[in-house]
Amino acid sequence: MRVTATTEAAASTAADTIVVGLVEGEGVPHDVEDGALGALVESGEAKAAPRSLAVAHAAGKRWILVGLGARATLDAEGLRLAAAAAHGRAKDVGARVLCWELPHKAREHDPARAVVEGTLMAAYAFTAFKSTSKDEDGGGIEELIVSDHADPSAAVARAEVVTRAVNAARDLQNTPANHLTPTALGERAQALAVAHDALTCEVVGREEIVARGMGAFAAVAAGSDEEPALITLRYEPTDDVAADTPLLGYVGKGVTFDAGGISIKPASGMADMKFDMTGAAAVIESLGAIAELGLPVRVVGVVGATENLLGPAAMKPGDVFTTAEGLTVQVDNTDAEGRLVLADCLHHARALGAERLVDVATLTGAIMSTLGRIYSGYWADDEAWAADLAGAAEDAGELIWRMPLHERYAELVKGSTADVANLSPARTGASCTAAEFLHRFTGGVPWAHLDICGTGWDGGRAYAPKGGTGVMVRTLVALAERTAAAAAAPEPANVD
């Protein structure tokens, strides 16, 4: 689906179908000459209730009227959902060129961005393994035009780049594990580096992982014949980066299939364990979007990609391994493998000079018991960095909720035969103790951890109802934008 922007009136564009948002009590912003749209409202067929839909034919165009609710409650997420609803109706009625007339007085909600995100995410379909694939890329809709009085082109272009990255992450998530191997994940990162001059990529396998002292990562990979991959993406723009801009370290869990190892998972739901690389997808595709946007910030992305299976060489409960940090880890449960991979990847990001860390992982099922599929949980050990992450998530429209770090949780991951254990006692704050385990490997660098186990797939939103959601791509891009903007901001003047 092509995406374009215009200041031309929606009715004057080449669109065959125009979407108009209805705000409660405000009527139709620009009615057609014969008043057909207003009549649809007066008759009660078109309503301002959120996502209510009505279709009219007038002035040689098809018109879709979508409810936006009350002005006081209208926000970017409401616009995304309205765009998704309008896309579904436009697809059903055979639209080819769709034009959104942006709602008036809604600029604080960045309506152009929200409409592009809602439409393109709703248009997503994963058909790579269907023998007959129709309705690809928007269900026959060839172009989305965004019309506004003020030029929306910059917001539209930015939203298109980021949303295509979200959908690319969903492709990675949805690909079956026998096709999306650790090697294939590395190849995707390498392809992005080829496409962008400011991106470089290094991928190393089992032998080099062992040589680098990454004993925890290597232990997880030992149970599979598939070659693991330590993927390092570096975004280094040649200029425009303010001197004091911190090097960001994005770390993603890339377990391309998680059977649980010797501590095997129940068969029910195991097919969903292809999604255990969702954090890796977010890191890889956000780096691609950051590079395409040319943001003035430096970022290193580190992904530990492996399978967690039951092979002759698989790690066993009770085994002890030495991490790149030098700390020893006792493996009390082989299904708590993500934190083992991340421990060595966090160390690697620090070794590359990362001055701010954020890791993204489908780490614990327990976070779903706490926050459901609505919020991602996050932990942070630095107040300024926590505020930056929370602000970025708000900018992106992704819900995150801060969880506690505490020395008493840290006590629970102390090992009996090693420095740390990869599992806390049963029913004792599993998500918080997992975060404290990771905290041991951050070396005092400001750090945040995002547990996305509840939000990574089957999001239940109109624009991402089933399958991968591409969660945290938008937030990671927004975090890079905020970091760059803060570094570029002038110092406040001293006042005596």
Which CATH number characterizes residue 136's domain? Answer: 3.40.220.10
Distance of CA 162 to the CA centre of its chain: 10
In a domain, 229, yes or no: yes
Q: Which residues of the chain have a pLDDT value below 50?
A: none
Question: What is the pLDDT at residue 436?
Answer: 98
Asked if residue 365 and residue 336 are part of one domain, the reply reads yes
Asked if residue 306 and residue 433 are part of one domain, the reply reads yes
Asked if residue 253 and residue 121 are part of one domain, the reply reads no
In a domain, 350, yes or no: yes
Greatest Cα pair distance in the chain = 81
In a domain, 496, yes or no: no
**How far is it, in rounded angstroms, from Cα 224 to Cα 312?**
9
Cβ neighbourhood burial of 492 (10 Å; 0-12, 13-18, 19+) = exposed
Asked if residue 194 and residue 107 are part of one domain, the reply reads no
Active site residues: 265, 339
Question: What is the pLDDT at residue 155?
Answer: 97
Cβ neighbourhood burial of 319 (10 Å; 0-12, 13-18, 19+) = middle
In a domain, 314, yes or no: yes
Asked if residue 204 and residue 136 are part of one domain, the reply reads no
Other CB atoms within a 10 A radius of the CB of residue 353 amount to 13
In a 13 Å sphere around the CA of 189, the CA atoms on its Cβ side amount to 33
Of 116, 150, 184, the one marking the end of a domain is 150
Residue 325: partners with Cβ closer than 8 Å, 6 or more residues away: 343, 344, 347, 440, 441, 443
DSSP for 31-69, please give it: --TT-HHHHHHHTTSS--STT-EEEEEETTEEEEEEEEE
Q: Which amino acid is at 111?
A: P
Question: What is the pLDDT at residue 282?
Answer: 99
Asked if residue 457 and residue 328 are part of one domain, the reply reads yes
Packed helices 473-488 and 153-174: angle between N→C axes, nearest 10 degrees: 140
Place of tokens 């739901």: 269
Contact criterion met (CB below 8 Å) for 223 and 311: yes
Sheet-wide strand order for 376-380: 199-204, 229-235, 299-308, 248-258, 356-361, 447-451, 376-380, 400-402
Other CB atoms within a 10 A radius of the CB of residue 240 amount to 12
Residue 250: partners with Cβ closer than 8 Å, 6 or more residues away: 283, 286, 287, 299, 300, 301, 302, 349, 358, 359, 360, 476
Of 124, 150, 176, the one marking the end of a domain is 150
Question: What is the pLDDT at residue 492?
Answer: 64
Asked if residue 105 and residue 8 are part of one domain, the reply reads yes
Three-state SS annotation for 284-310: HHHHHHHHHHCCCCCEEEEEEEEEECC
Question: What is the pLDDT at residue 493?
Answer: 58
In a domain, 495, yes or no: no
Asked if residue 96 and residue 167 are part of one domain, the reply reads no
Asked if residue 191 and residue 105 are part of one domain, the reply reads no
DSSP for 367-378, please give it: HHHHHTTT-EEE
For residue 319, give its domain range: 163-487
Asked if residue 167 and residue 38 are part of one domain, the reply reads no
Q: What is the CATH number of the domain that holds 381?
A: 3.40.630.10
Contact criterion met (CB below 8 Å) for 398 and 475: yes
Packed helices 473-488 and 383-396: angle between N→C axes, nearest 10 degrees: 120
For 99, 103, 115, 237, 469, the CA distances from 30, given in Å and listed in that order, are 14, 10, 19, 44, 35
Structure token digits, residue 242: 């303010």
Q: Which residues, listed in sequence order, are joined to residue 202 by a DSSP beta bridge?
A: 232
In a domain, 158, yes or no: no
Question: What is the pLDDT at residue 104?
Answer: 84
Asked if residue 198 and residue 110 are part of one domain, the reply reads no
Contact criterion met (CB below 8 Å) for 278 and 457: yes
- Please give the tally of structural domains in the chain: 2
Q: Give the pairing type, strands 400-402 and 376-380.
A: parallel
In a domain, 66, yes or no: yes
Q: Which residues, listed in sequence order, are joined to residue 300 by a DSSP beta bridge?
A: 234, 249
Task: Select from 412, 425, 431, 460 the least CA-distant residue to 370.
Answer: 431
Asked if residue 187 and residue 134 are part of one domain, the reply reads no
Residue 156: partners with Cβ closer than 8 Å, 6 or more residues away: 3, 4, 5, 112, 113, 116, 146
Of 150, 176, 192, the one marking the end of a domain is 150
In a domain, 157, yes or no: no
Q: Which amino acid is at 423?
A: L
Cβ neighbourhood burial of 448 (10 Å; 0-12, 13-18, 19+) = buried
